[in-house]
Chains A and B, each alone.
Chain A
Amino acid sequence: MSKKVLVIDDSPFVFKAVTKALEGTEYEVVGNALDGQLGVDKYIETRADVITLDVTMPIMDGLQAAKRLFEINPNVKIIMLSAMGDETLLNQAKEIGIKFFLTKPFQPPVLQAKLAEVFS
């Protein structure tokens, strides 16, 4: 049975890239959301097994969305997938509970390896 992936990112490109990168694998992209609030709603709807989460987004940014997601499910699996990755930001994300990080751009094998790490 495939594992469900939810993409939360204000760039439609990322949804396309993640979907393409996971073609033919055990992962299935079940949805995307263009801001943090929509992403939280989409997670409630899909109960995805793992979420790729951008940081800089309108309405609700990735860090705020992560807090909400952990309130909904303390065991939710999140990969912070962002163009930004400075120490201050990473520390903020870790304090919220995010354990997995990937910096854009990514190549398909790198994303697949990160997902394998999440489920190991």
Chain B
Amino acid sequence: MEDSTEVAVNKFDVLFNLAKKSFEEIMVEVTGEAIDAQPEFSIAPEDRLSLSIIIGLSGNTNGRILLNTSVEYGQNIAVAMNFGDPLDNEDDLHVYLAEFANMFCGRAATHINNEFGKREIWISPPAIFSAKDLDIITPNVSSVRAYYECPLGKFIVDMGFSENSYDDF
């Protein structure tokens, strides 16, 4: 018989896999190129990723999904979203990437809600952090990372989930 910890771990595995699947689907639909998760890679200091888009998840399961990339790689995504044309102005980059993250997390929420047969999670509006050597730490959240490298660039998806414990208060 599974104990509650084991059930939670299995549930988180399902959530992680559905989130990964969603990222891969959205990348294909936006860029037309299939991508697969790669083994963990190290990033040279000069390539330190400097764009992080965070989307919060709420509902029966709480959490957040972080998409880390660089400005250069982010621009590649934005151009693909703009149907291959350059952006009208530089300020559009954040608007496009926020929507990219929204589409990715919305797809993840769709898969997760369908998997659990109910409204398991809901997404909140994205926030973008742009900085050098940015670390985002979320204590008390079980998180894993998926690494992607493709002609468009390097992307790290950091997915963290926790059971909603508001009832404990």
Contacts and interface: CB of A to CB of B under 8 A. Distances in A.
A82 to B, nearest CB: 7
B156 to A, nearest CB: 21
B83 A20 contact: yes
Interface in A82-120: 82-89, 103-105, 107-108
A13 B123 contact: no
A86 B81 contact: no
Nearest to A83: B106
A86 B114 contact: yes
B110 A105 contact: no
B35 interface: no
B125 A105 contact: no
Nearest to A56: B123
Interface in B80-136: 81-83, 85, 88, 92, 95-96, 98-99, 102-107, 109-111, 113-114, 117-119, 122-123, 125
Contacts, number: 71
Contacts of B125: 10, 56, 58
Interface string A25-62: 00000000000000000000000000000001010000
B113 A87 contact: yes
Most buried by A among B83, B88, B95, B106: B106
Contacts of A17: 81-83
A73 interface: no
B30 interface: yes
A85 B82 contact: no
B29 interface: yes
Interface of B: 26, 29-30, 81-83, 85, 88, 92, 95-96, 98-99, 102-107, 109-111, 113-114, 117-119, 122-123, 125
